[in-house]
């Protein structure tokens, strides 16, 4: 069975998760990603 192609939004969510994990803060992760603070919070 062939692997499913990854959707762009899945990769964006992964990037947000990694940023939050690295920064240990939704606010700092949002600033690093250049998005509003609520964006990473909503993704989790």
Q: Could you report the per-residue pLDDT of 15-33, keeping only the tens digit for each?
A: 899 999 999 999 999 999 8
pLDDT for 18 equals 93
Q: CA-based angle 23:7:16, to the nearest 5? A: 10
In a domain, 2, yes or no: no
State residue 5's pLDDT score.
Answer: 64
**Does the residue 35 lie in any domain?**
yes
With beta carbons less than 8 A apart as the criterion, state whether 16 and 33 touch.
Answer: yes
Q: Answer for the pair 37, 30: CB distance below 8 angstroms, yes or no.
A: yes
Q: 31 vs 41, which has greater pLDDT?
A: 31
For 39, the domain range is: 8-43
Structural domain count of the chain: 1
Neighbours of 3 (CB within 10 A): 5
Residue that has been written with the tokens 């939050």 in this structure: 20
């Amino acid at each position: 069975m062939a692997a499913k192609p990854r959707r762009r939004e899945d990769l964006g969510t992964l990037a947000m998760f990694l940023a939050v994990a690295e920064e240990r803060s939704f606010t700092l992760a949002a600033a690093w990603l250049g998005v509003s603070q609520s964006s990473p919070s909503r993704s989790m």
